[in-house]
């Protein structure tokens, strides 16, 4: 259903070597699924929570409402981050996705804080809680759906290398755990006739949600500020470079992340000073194309002519 709708709004376009359109479509599809599922969960939990007089269930319902907002942010974040480069943003808009992930993290944290506030009030002013078959079924279905959303968004996040989808996946998993705790607490409260356990469980859930928001915000902030390059990527770039004919070493590798699928790099390659400039330049061009094709990194290789130290020595220098 959503796939057909997305196809009409954002049709596939040819000539997309980096998969920008395909990546956008998958992220938007995940966002639409999140919007629909969380809206249904919010409505069902709110009705059941009000009927059962459960602050934990009601709070969990509003947590799903915040997840709906996160899904909306995910859709717009995916769309805006996929915009092509322009005069003001020559490297594209990929980092908008990191900003969107940061917004989702703030939403998660704020809802956790609100839940903490309401749960503390519940502990201080306990009220009897009703548990019924409807409550149990609603919570069980919510757990199953949230686990599905977790695996779905994690798969999408891994496939398109999206920090935003990974944040949504972690949020879905924390929701599933939180709802499971609520279900357990509801069952215990029924047999213990305790009006405070619901509030204590709400406190625990709120702390879990706040921690989730903090951890995802830290990841997104690190991506925005800039972190060290992946050592595995560094090794792959070096290995491909050293496979080139006439390359004697390499140094000064710089990698810049402008968003998923938008990695730029530069490196100095040491070449024999006696080699033909034309032939060496052609070899460098071929290496640049191969690195971009195999690793998705747009790299600029600067030639550094060096004296040939030892005949037959083709050992790579330090990066």
Alpha carbon of residue 247 to chain centroid: 37
| Nearest partner of 28 among 76, 63, 85, 69, judged by Cα | 76
DSSP class of 257: E
Half-sphere exposure of 14 (CA within 13 A, CB side): 0
Contact (Cβ atoms closer than 8 angstroms) between residue 300 and residue 288: yes
256: helix, strand or coil: strand
pLDDT tens for residues 191-234?
A: 776 667 777 877 887 888 888 888 888 878 887 777 777 788 88
Q: What is the dihedral of CA 246, 251, 256, 262, to 10 degrees?
A: 10
pLDDT tens for residues 152-162?
A: 999 988 888 78
Q: What is the DSSP string of 263-292?
A: EEEEEEEEEETTS-HHHHHHHHHHHHHHHH
**pTM for this entry:** 0.65
Using DSSP bridges, classify how beta strands 263-272 and 247-257 pair: parallel, antiparallel or unpaired: antiparallel
What's the token pair of residue 124? Answer: 């201080």
pLDDT tens for residues 13-68?
A: 443 434 567 777 888 888 889 889 999 999 988 888 888 777 767 877 877 887 88
Residue 56 CA to residue 276 CA, distance in Å, equals 74
149: helix, strand or coil: helix
Quick one: pLDDT band at residue 143, thresholds 50, 70, 90?
very high
Would you state the CATH architecture of domain 231-306?
2-Layer Sandwich (3.30)
Residue 208 CA to residue 56 CA, distance in Å, equals 14
Q: Which CATH superfamily is domain 2-225 in?
A: Cation efflux protein transmembrane domain (1.20.1510.10)
Residue ranges covered by each domain of the chain: 2-225, 231-306
Cβ neighbours, 10 Å, residue 120: 15
């Amino acid at each position: 259903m959503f796939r057909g709708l997305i196809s009409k709004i954002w049709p596939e376009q040819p000539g997309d070597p980096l998969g920008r359109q395909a990546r956008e479509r998958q992220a938007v599809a995940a966002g639409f699924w999140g919007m629909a599922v969380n809206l249904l969960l919010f409505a069902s939990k709110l009705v059941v929570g009000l009927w059962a007089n459960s602050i934990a269930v009601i709070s969990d319902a509003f947590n799903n409402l915040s997840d709906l907002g996160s899904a909306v942010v995910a859709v717009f974040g995916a769309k805006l981050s996929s915009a092509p480069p322009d005069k003001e943003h020559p490297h594209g808009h990929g980092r908008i996705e990191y900003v969107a992930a940061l917004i989702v993290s703030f939403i998660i944290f704020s809802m956790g804080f609100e839940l903490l506030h309401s749960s503390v009030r519940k502990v201080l002013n306990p009220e009897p809680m009703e548990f019924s078959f409807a409550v149990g079924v609603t919570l069980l279905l919510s757990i199953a759906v949230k686990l599905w959303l977790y695996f779905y968004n994690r798969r999408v996040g891994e496939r398109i290398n999206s920090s935003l989808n990974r944040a949504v996946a972690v949020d879905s998993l924390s929701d599933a755990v939180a709802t499971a705790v609520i279900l357990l607490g509801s069952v215990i409260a029924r047999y213990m006739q305790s009006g405070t356990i619901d509030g204590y469980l709400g406190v625990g859930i709120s702390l879990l949600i706040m921690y989730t928001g903090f951890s995802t915000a830290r990841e997104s902030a690190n991506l925005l500020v800039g972190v060290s390059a992946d050592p595995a990527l560094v090794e792959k770039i070096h290995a491909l470079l050293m496979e080139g004919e006439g390359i004697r070493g390499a140094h000064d590798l710089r990698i810049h992340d402008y968003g998923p699928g938008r990695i730029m790099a530069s490196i100095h390659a040491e070449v024999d000073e006696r080699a033909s400039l034309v032939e060496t330049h052609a070899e460098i061009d071929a290496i640049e194309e191969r690195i971009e094709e195999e690793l998705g990194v747009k790299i600029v290789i600067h030639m550094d002519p060096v004296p040939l130290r030892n005949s037959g020595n083709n050992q790579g220098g330090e990066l």
